[in-house]
């Protein structure tokens, strides 16, 4: 489970976040990354981590964020809600 204390500073403010245990495996990006309709997640500049570029704003985006959390092999995605 993601640790709020390890939350990456690049995350948009809000309840969804990625922590520093992320290993950019690309799994979550297939669900909520820039090539999806949701565009919630983004790589940092050197592509060593993923972060929430923006928080979900619709039920479909919430579902995409939840799916990204569920498929993350390192459990680096968290939801404080």
Distance separating alpha carbons of residues 65 and 79, to the nearest angstrom = 9
Position 34 pLDDT exceeds 90: yes
Distance separating alpha carbons of residues 12 and 61, to the nearest angstrom = 15
Position 74 pLDDT exceeds 90: yes
Q: Average pLDDT in the 54-76 region? A: 98
**Residues with Cβ < 8 Å from 74, sequence gap 6 or more?**
21, 22, 23, 25
pTM, to two decimals: 0.94
- Confidence band (pLDDT; 50, 70, 90) for 81? confident
CB 65: neighbour CB atoms within 10 A?
24
Phi/psi at 71 (nearest 5 deg)?
A: -95, -10
The CA-to-CA distance between both ends of the chain, in Å, stands at 14
- Percentage of residues of the chain with pLDDT beyond 70: 100
What is the domain partition of the chain in residue ranges? Answer: 4-79
User: Is the domain 4-79 a CATH 3.30.70.1290 member?
Assistant: no
């Amino acid at each position: 489970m993601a640790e709020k204390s390890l939350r990456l500073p690049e995350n948009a403010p809000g309840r969804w976040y990625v922590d520093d245990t992320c290993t950019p495996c690309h799994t979550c990006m297939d669900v909520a990354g820039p090539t999806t309709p949701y565009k919630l997640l983004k790589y940092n500049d050197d592509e060593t981590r993923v972060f929430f570029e923006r928080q979900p704003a619709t039920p479909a985006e919430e579902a995409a964020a939840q799916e990204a959390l569920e498929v993350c092999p390192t459990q680096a995605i968290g939801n404080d809600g």
